[in-house]
Structure 1
Amino acid sequence: MKKTAQIVLISISILFSVGQAVIKQTFHFSDIIDATIATVIAWFVGWQYDKLQYFAKKKKRK
């Protein structure tokens, strides 16, 4: 199963978090927790999307 959506969403989450830190020019511990939670959610959504795509293709082949 390809993990394309997971990689894309996690990358966006990390880039967004880093971008926020650069714009604010500060990075507190709570920001790290927020970034971690957002990344975990992005990973889960990407995983579910990739799984959906996999099973849709599998069903289409039958």
Structure 2
Amino acid sequence: MKLAIGLFTQSPVLNFYVASSFLKTNIIGIFRGGIPLIEAAIIVLMLITYAPVISTFLPDLLGVK
């Protein structure tokens, strides 16, 4: 999950830069639209990391060990 967050936050930066130049707007305004997505990913990472019951629920339910 940590790797996924790192990978998907690098690519949009270039897209944000191109979009800000294309739309002739400030890049900060573009970033504000992407911040909720990054915040949600970090919250999910924290839940999976610090509450392992969430990530092991389905394997436990299926009896996978």
TM-score, normalising length from structure 2? 0.47
Which protein is bigger by CA-based radius of gyration? 2
